[in-house]
Amino acid sequence: MTAEDLLKITFVGDPQISPDGSRVLFTKKTINEKNKYITNLFSVDLEGRLTQWTQGDSGNQAARWSPDGGTIAFVSKRTNSPQIHLISTHGGEARKLTSLPEGFLTNLQWSPDGKWIAFLFREQMPQNTEAAKQSRAEKGLSDPPIEIDDIWYRLDGDGYFAGQRFKIYAVEVATGRYASADSDGEFSALYAASPNGDYSFDWSPNSLELAVIHTACKRPSVEPPNAQIYRVALNGQAWKLEGLPKGEKSNVKWSPDGKWLAYAGDVDEADPWGTRNTKLYVVSANGGDAKDLTGHEDYDLSAATLSDTKEAGFGTTLEWKPDNSGLIIQIGWQGETQLAFVSLDGRFELLTEGKHSISMGNVSNDGSRIAATFGHATMLPEIAMVEPELGTGHMVSKLLTHFNEEFHSEIELSEPEEFWLDSTEGSKLHGWVMKPIGYLAPKRYPALLQIHGGPHAQYGWAFFHEFQLLAAQGYVVVYTNPRGSKGYGEAHCAAIRGNWGTHDWEDIQVATRWMQHQSFIHPGQMGVMGGSYGGYMTNWVIGHCNDFKAAISDRCVSNMVSMAGNSDFPFNKNGYFKGVAWGDLNDIKELWRQSPIAYFQNVSTPTLVIHSEGDLRCNIEQGEQVFTALQQQGVESRFVRYPSFTSHGMSRMGPPDLRLHRLGEIVKWMDKFLK
């Protein structure tokens, strides 16, 4: 594996099964010779025959079948702004359905009768439209300031949007007119903006209304979470379901018979970062007490398995069985991603098994087939159909595409080996080790400890290009799921809630001791690295030990006091963390105690700092503080800053040439000190 092999990979996603279960619609993304991601729409039938629906480089995505399977709706940016297009499955050219102003369009949903398409749209800030930019250029004017009146004005990967908010629209497929109570069919929102623009919605089976989740808080970024469900008619009238608890809610789904509403969430009002398990609830479509269907299990509906060849996927996935008997959900467990069935009486049944990563799309009309992507640690994700295996009681994934088959035939890969270690207080640490390509016993090799971000996510059986690259460069690669990770039960995840650098650090020390005692690892040639929270923990490690000869702190957190106010998700007083940055010394001391920079007088490890200037999650000043402290103390260090158009997720979604540059910097730095 080389860094440049990234350019050969085909990325697939967003699988959607046709109503009759005969085909799966999906996105296929490649990288062209001009350093650009090219995304187009394809479908594949049960025999593996492909049909290409779109061409070009206009970013076609979010495709959805019409209820009768005769039309595909999708989003394409063939003009200055994304628009909904329709294409017949019987052939012909796509036609543009909407003529929206410049902005951001997402979450297409057909009404069950096929007459309407609901979607989310947020208009561009007026000063950022192409017309406004051109006018300023012609007049020689400067870019204007962004005027902000609310704390929810930016989001990493989304940028700055100030007071603009997503709204729900419903457009009639036959005419292009919009559903609204007070307009003549012109562009008009069906449902007005939520304070933080965060929506989940789903059509009623009779196509007359939507179930909508949004916050009931006046200040949602400050107050404890209180998402509620509203029913919104096509004339814009809305009413709130009564009887639901406060707390987080997402991914509302109306049952096929119209009697129930399902959603993912939790009732805890003081868990803004999701250390508790996300559970499955159902409530009568008319309101009342919500029933927790999965609380008796220790599974989490939002346990994301991390990779650099797919999206992180921190959301939840759930789909009703067509017979109304229950829901199919996706869970992360001990590094695996599996599908499960949950009945309305709370019976829980795992549908799949194995060391793999499955990302579910939707379910066929008869409930027998599920569209998904399927991959594992040595296989890039491909489109798959998940079907019952006769006589086993489980479902199996049948691969429908083989885009990366030739790539795999040319590349030698390292097969991860899993291990379990005893840690403090009776806890267990789950991890994996990848030996170098061409490994020969009894030789000892340099080794790298990778620490994942989140922290409430998991490493697991997913393909990691970066890990394979490092194994090909002659490194042993070790990665673990210390306490704070999801996928091992609620107690394991909540062990570091508001208390970083404690049980997680104990587990990292256990992994470090294990590495030092392996016959194939040279204990004097070990490096440590990680991104986001992994960057935090890398900073913590080098401030608390000298076991590693080199470190890489990527898009890190270093100072919890400044982080509290400059992240796109600022800390609330005594929320996830105790105290607050703008309080007195007693308020600040807990944040400072958990700040790696507070211990940097102890650092002697040569460290590479990687950060994006456009990172709104972990502001670049977090990396700047690390580099400044290292330089002022004479510790060998290097700072690589990526441009402002890159974001926190650059290693997964950034421009291909910059992703390659980052990988090159990683290899050069570790080679310098470990070889």
- Residue 521 maps to which CATH number? 3.40.50.1820
Looking at the predicted structure, is the pLDDT value of residue 507 above 90? yes
Q: Which of 219, 234, 203 is nearest to 320 (CA)?
A: 203
Looking at the predicted structure, is the pLDDT value of residue 392 above 80? no
Looking at the predicted structure, is the pLDDT value of residue 554 above 80? yes
Q: Tokens 């159909």 — which residue?
A: 385
Looking at the predicted structure, is the pLDDT value of residue 103 above 90? yes
pLDDT in tens, 358-381: 999 999 999 999 999 999 999 999
* Mean pLDDT calculated for residue range 177-205: 82
Pick the range with the lowest mean pLDDT from 182-196, 355-369, 443-457, 571-585.
Answer: 182-196
Looking at the predicted structure, is the pLDDT value of residue 170 above 70? yes
pTM score? 0.97
Q: Please tell me the total count of domains within the chain.
A: 1
Pick the range with the lowest mean pLDDT from 385-389, 485-489, 550-554.
Answer: 385-389
Looking at the predicted structure, is the pLDDT value of residue 312 above 70? no
Looking at the predicted structure, is the pLDDT value of residue 181 above 70? no
Looking at the predicted structure, is the pLDDT value of residue 192 above 90? no
Q: Is 7 among the domain residues? A: no
Pick the range with the lowest mean pLDDT from 34-48, 58-72, 193-207, 476-490.
Answer: 193-207
**Cβ pair 485, 508 in contact under 8 A:** no
* Mean pLDDT calculated for residue range 138-146: 97
Q: Is 300 among the domain residues? A: no
Q: How far apart are CA 636 and CA 507, in angstroms?
A: 27
Looking at the predicted structure, is the pLDDT value of residue 17 above 80? yes
In the prediction, which pLDDT does 528 show?
A: 99
Q: How far apart are CA 43 and CA 10, in angstroms?
A: 15
632: pLDDT confidence band, cut at 50, 70 and 90?
very high
Domain of residue 602: give its range: 414-559+595-674
In the prediction, which pLDDT does 222 show?
A: 85
DSSP characters for 68-132? TSSEEEEEE-SSSS-EEEEEETTS---EE-----SEEEEEEEE-TTSSEEEEEEEEPPGGGSHHH
In the prediction, which pLDDT does 180 show?
A: 80
Looking at the predicted structure, is the pLDDT value of residue 394 above 90? no
Catalytic positions, written as ranges: 532, 648
Q: Is 604 among the domain residues? A: yes
Q: Is 493 among the domain residues? A: yes
Q: Is 429 among the domain residues? A: yes
In the prediction, which pLDDT does 213 show?
A: 95
Q: Is 14 among the domain residues? A: no
Instruction: For the chain, give the percent of residues with pLDDT over 90.
Output: 89
Looking at the predicted structure, is the pLDDT value of residue 182 above 70? no
Q: How many alpha carbons fall within 13 Å on the CB side of residue 612? A: 25
Q: How far apart are CA 91 and CA 461, in angstroms?
A: 39
Instruction: For the chain, give the percent of residues with pLDDT over 70.
Output: 98
In the prediction, which pLDDT does 35 show?
A: 96
**Cβ pair 525, 578 in contact under 8 A:** no
195: pLDDT confidence band, cut at 50, 70 and 90?
low
Looking at the predicted structure, is the pLDDT value of residue 442 above 90? yes
In the prediction, which pLDDT does 565 show?
A: 94
* Mean pLDDT calculated for residue range 499-508: 98
Q: Is 246 among the domain residues? A: no
Q: How far apart are CA 518 and CA 477, in angstroms?
A: 13
* Mean pLDDT calculated for residue range 9-28: 97
* Mean pLDDT calculated for residue range 60-64: 95
583: pLDDT confidence band, cut at 50, 70 and 90?
confident
In the prediction, which pLDDT does 91 show?
A: 86
Q: How far apart are CA 133 and CA 126, in angstroms?
A: 10
- Alpha-carbon distance values, 418 to 261, 331, 430, 435, 461 (Å): 40, 20, 7, 12, 10
Q: Give the amino acid at 421.
A: L
* Mean pLDDT calculated for residue range 294-321: 91
Q: Is 332 helix (H, G, I), strand (E, B) or coil?
A: strand
- Alpha helices of 404-487 — where are they, by DSSP H? 405-410, 465-472
**Cβ pair 563, 534 in contact under 8 A:** no
Q: How many alpha carbons fall within 13 Å on the CB side of residue 467? A: 30
Mean pLDDT of the chain: 95
Q: Is 321 among the domain residues? A: no
Kindly calculate the radius of gyration of the chain based on its CA atoms and give it in whole angstroms. Answer: 25
